Amino acid sequence: MRDSDPIEDQVVLATVAVDATGKISEVKDAPEEILPRLRIAAKNWVFAPARKAGQPVPAEIRVPFVVVTGPLVNPGKATAPSVIFQKKPVYPFAMRASGMRGGVVNAGGDLRVFGDALEVVHVREPNDPARSRPLLHLRDGAVATSAGYFSTRDGRTALVDTRGDGSLGHDVSVTVCAPRALWADALTKVVLADADAAVPLLRRLRAQAALLGGAGAPRILPA
């Protein structure tokens, strides 16, 4: 999301209300000065709706938005990593404070690893999600994956491409490693939308992405 107004680059967590058809009905619980921009960014999103007793029902979810004030691509000029604002998560800091020397927090498949031990991270094969492969070793960082293999309906995934009438994540997955789980999860969607344009933002947040499709080796960004 980009805007000409001078809002500091940041990752913002907002509540997104999804109606029984999967469309966005409201975006709230974010700073007032950027809520209009978040609503514009989310207006064309479509989700697989929540279900109760087998029937679609309205629901609310917490969604990270990457707010970028400048262009993602600045040809000919390198962008140094910069600090962005984010409230510190409870985990893993509370675990460390209690005396734990290491561990893994699994938030619905997104992982936050802390301590010195290496965690082997497996990801599903995009063309055959019943199978998985070891993709990376992670130490003291976060990792998240986004793909469309479990949300595809009538040739479309739940990851809507707001630049047109298409959807993202067909026969491809994106896994991002970053210092924070919130960043990793948000960046997977940015890379799915435009992998090459996402490279400066990956560098800025000290993150790395792996695009996996088919049986070949993953494409790593930044290269």
- Tell me the pLDDT tens digit for each residue of 63-74: 888 877 655 445
Euclidean distance between CA atoms 106 and 4, whole angstroms: 37
169 vs 108, residue with greater confidence: 169
Q: Are residues 30 and 129 in the same domain?
A: no
The count of structural domains within the chain is 2
What is the predicted pLDDT for the residue at 1? Answer: 44
**Alpha carbon distances (Å) from 155 to 42, 183, 187:** 21, 29, 24
pTM, entire model? 0.58
Whether 148 is in a domain gets the answer: yes
Measuring CA to CA, which residue among 164, 89, 161, 175 is closest to residue 132? 175
85-106 confidence digits (pLDDT tens): 555 555 566 666 777 778 888 8
Whether 180 is in a domain gets the answer: yes
Whether 98 is in a domain gets the answer: no
Q: Are residues 109 and 184 in the same domain?
A: yes
Q: Note down the domain range covering 44.
A: 1-71
Residue 199: is its pLDDT beyond 90? yes
Q: Are residues 47 and 113 in the same domain?
A: no
Whether 76 is in a domain gets the answer: no
What is the predicted pLDDT for the residue at 96? Answer: 65
Whether 4 is in a domain gets the answer: yes
